[in-house]
Structure 1
Amino acid sequence: MTSTAKAATARRVVFPFTAIVGQEEMKLALLLNVIDPKIGGVMIMGDRGTGKSTTIRALADLLPEIPVVANDPFNSHPSDPELMSDEVRTAFLNGENIPLAQQKVQMVDLPLGATEDRVCGTIDIEKALSEGVKAFEPGLLAKANRGILYVDEVNLLDDHLVDVLLDSAASGWNTVEREGISIRHPARFVLVGSGNPEEGELRPQLLDRFGMHAEIHTVKEPPLRVQIVEQRSEFDQNPHAFLEQYQSKQEELQQTIINAQQLLPSVTLDYDLRVKISEVCSEMDVDGLRGDIVTNRAAKAIAAFEGRTEVTIDDIRRVITLCLRHRLRKDPLESIDSGYKVEKAFARVFGVELSEDSAAANGTGQKATAGR
């Protein structure tokens, strides 16, 4: 047995991503954020027991191993200075030999009761003053660098902590300051938040900072429900045998993600389409320019995912609702629009038909079929 095979066997078996039935909107949003982390993360809102946590863990397990600096608490990249801690960057610039290692992409769970010190890390002031060294105890943001940071029930998390997470996700750096001592380290991660709308919404200012917003609903069709129950039962009885059934699909999707990440810089978005995206944002009265930027990035990511270098109108149609629905101004008593308003504005600006099926689908938060 090879060392890779031994490591795979030793790892806790996770339900395979390619076996997950339905919830296409959530799966698409997660995949696009992995292809281009600069999209800004995804907020997943939906009913209890709809597989939010299962899907996110399955995605982390699916992702390919990444090169890291051995024994580095920040998962520093061995050759990209932007993804290195200060200590590793100094060694790199001085031409020192940097030990390398391969590891799985980290998925870090943020517990609801976490303190700011636990999230950001702490500085040992006494050691710093007595020994003159910056004694830093890394937090969850350090562990999540170049990985996925998952916050379940993010709408119940303290607003101050949400601000810290979003600031780090946007800047790619975490800075800790205590008593005049300042330490910073890279903190580039895909931020995934999930929650149940019945337990309250995030403040609009915080919600706007998430790149995408996916809605998921309990599957209604009895045959699909039976399929999901049977799959789960089969997985619980014999996880390794179940995983083997999907191994080839898992490897195929993993390679597709790698190819998309490499192709992404070559993907182009026509100027006229960019203008129309901004026209939709303007018509929907979206505050700021985050909606425009994220829609542009997501459209390019979906084109790369499908192996193309030019964005089409259909690419934009498939991502624009995910990127804009949570940025619309709304009556305080309304819940987040399921997407029909965005689809309607898209159809008018891009000159495509909004079918009755699309309108009905949007009304239930499912994927639209405008312009097909």
Structure 2
Amino acid sequence: MINQNNQKINFPFTAIIGQEEMKLALLLNIIDPKIGGVMIMGDRGTGKSTIIRSLVDLLPEISVVANDPYNSHPLDFELMSNEVRQKLNNNESLDIISKKIQLIDLPLGATEDRVCGTIDIEKALQDGIKAFEPGLLAKANRGILYIDEVNLLDDHLVDLLLDAAASGWNTVEREGISISHPSRFILIGSGNPEEGELRPQLLDRFGMHAQIGTVKDPELRVQIVEQRTAFDKEPTQFIQNYEQMQQNLIQNLYESRQNLKNVTILYQDRIKISQICSELNIDGLRGDLVTNRAAKALACFEKRLQVTHKDIERVICLCLRHRLRTDPLETMDSGTKVKEIFQQIFDYEF
């Protein structure tokens, strides 16, 4: 929705009813972007896009180098462009500004040039400079890259995303000219399982996997419809009604990002998490890493500095369910297998 000042108005995140699993996964990724993003699968009309776009108003500000197209970090070499590094090596001063984390949409029909960027060969040859027009991966650096209907994305774009997600850098090559820039982003995808499954290589790149379904409770459905009707009728007033809740959540997310480094998880609990991953025959160590990170982010969000077994229980299905499949003919497990193994190893009653 657009207001009279031509500004986009998003439905308030704190006004969303239900879909707790999806909301939790998104908030934890804001607290710790290294969790690796969220894949959200669910029926049509369940509010996937509405919830994701409502994140925009919650995103914190970050320090960036002014006029840099890659949102370069002014101190972290892994998150800055080659141009900024060169300036630092030459002892040049950097103009630093604060900027809100961006949510960048990657449309299904996007071309490779639109996603990765383009090199102006003619200008490069005539003027001897590397003329580069940044793409969506440049804009998404240190932000969020959102792909709706990600399971319908062309295979060649999937490959590009895999390369960028694996290395944290995007490289564009043309006619012997190569340009690279940092591209570290939170990858959020949404889709309808009826329209096909994701390639396992891309699915594994998502740190968490949230499943959402159509609300069955008639009273809850009526409440959701009334909320949406009120927002469409008087969006400004509706947003004002949730302003304080929004601000409280924003402050909580900010403090959680600052305090995350102080959260600890017991060694024996880390052992048990890895034991669960081993029992489930999960390939690689990404499942172990993500579960540890997500549990710490949840504890921090709830203003605790020690991870509990309850924290691990709440996040472990989100972190592991999409890593279980080995047979391509099998459907996605809802988390039953993960819960069973968790209960055995932690001796825990759900």
CA shift, 1:10, in A, is 6.4
1:195 is matched with 191
CA shift, 1:149, in A, is 0.5
The equivalent position to 1:30 in structure 2, one of 18, 26, 31, is 26
The equivalent position to 2:99 in structure 1, one of 99, 103, 106, is 103
Which letter maps to 2:38?
V
Is the contact made by 1:65 and 1:102 (CA closer than 8 Å) also made in structure 2?
Answer: yes
1:360 is matched with none
1:366 is matched with none
2:49 is matched with 53
Is the contact made by 2:209 and 2:322 (CA closer than 8 Å) also made in structure 1?
Answer: yes
Aligned residues: 348
Is the contact made by 1:67 and 1:101 (CA closer than 8 Å) also made in structure 2?
Answer: yes
Mean alpha-carbon deviation: is it higher for 172-181 or for 31-40? 172-181
Matches within 5 A, 1:73-112: 73-112=69-108
The equivalent position to 2:323 in structure 1, one of 296, 304, 327, is 327
Whether 1:266 aligns to 2:262 is yes
Unaligned runs of 5+ in 2: none
CA shift, 1:289, in A, is 1.3
1:220 is matched with 216
CA shift, 1:103, in A, is 2.7
1:358 is matched with none
The equivalent position to 2:161 in structure 1, one of 161, 165, 168, is 165
Matches within 5 A, 1:226-237: 226-237=222-233
1:180 is matched with 176
SS at match of 2:147: strand
The equivalent position to 2:313 in structure 1, one of 312, 317, 340, is 317
Please identify runs of 4+ aligned residues in structure 1 that moved more than 4 A.
Answer: none
SS at match of 1:98: coil
The equivalent position to 2:146 in structure 1, one of 145, 150, 153, is 150
Matches within 5 A, 1:129-148: 129-148=125-144
Mean alpha-carbon deviation: is it higher for 231-240 or for 90-99? 90-99
Give the TM-score normalised by structure 1.
0.89
CA shift, 1:95, in A, is 3.3
SS at match of 1:175: strand
Is the contact made by 2:165 and 2:205 (CA closer than 8 Å) also made in structure 1?
Answer: no
Matches within 5 A, 1:251-290: 251-290=247-286
SS at match of 2:305: coil
Call closer, same or farther: CA 1:193–1:65 in 2, change over 3 Å: same
SS at match of 1:43: strand
Whether 1:211 aligns to 2:207 is yes
Unaligned runs of 5+ in 1: 1-8, 354-369
Deviation per CA, 1:282-326, whole angstroms, max 9, x where unpaired? 111111111111111111111111122211111110110001101
Is the contact made by 1:16 and 1:62 (CA closer than 8 Å) also made in structure 2?
Answer: no
CA shift, 1:169, in A, is 2.6
Is the contact made by 2:325 and 2:332 (CA closer than 8 Å) also made in structure 1?
Answer: no
Which letter maps to 1:37?
P
Aligned equivalents of 2:161, 2:120: Cα separation in 1: 22
Aligned equivalents of 2:199, 2:77: Cα separation in 1: 35
CA shift, 1:264, in A, is 1.2
Is the contact made by 1:300 and 1:311 (CA closer than 8 Å) also made in structure 2?
Answer: yes
CA shift, 1:16, in A, is 0.7
Which letter maps to 1:312?
T
CA shift, 1:195, in A, is 0.5
CA shift, 1:250, in A, is 0.7
Is the contact made by 1:60 and 1:148 (CA closer than 8 Å) also made in structure 2?
Answer: no
Is the contact made by 2:106 and 2:147 (CA closer than 8 Å) also made in structure 1?
Answer: yes
1:123 is matched with 119
The equivalent position to 1:13 in structure 2, one of 2, 6, 9, is 9
Task: State the superposition RMSD in angstroms.
Answer: 1.8
CA shift, 1:172, in A, is 2.0
SS at match of 1:320: helix
Aligned equivalents of 2:257, 2:344: Cα separation in 1: 32
Is the contact made by 2:287 and 2:319 (CA closer than 8 Å) also made in structure 1?
Answer: yes
Call closer, same or farther: CA 1:19–1:314 in 2, change over 3 Å: same
Give the TM-score normalised by structure 2.
0.95
CA shift, 1:331, in A, is 4.4
CA shift, 1:249, in A, is 0.7
The equivalent position to 2:289 in structure 1, one of 272, 290, 293, is 293
Call closer, same or farther: CA 1:166–1:302 in 2, change over 3 Å: farther
Mean alpha-carbon deviation: is it higher for 84-93 or for 120-129? 84-93
Whether 1:40 aligns to 2:2 is no
Aligned equivalents of 1:239, 1:45: Cα separation in 2: 28
Which letter maps to 2:188?
V
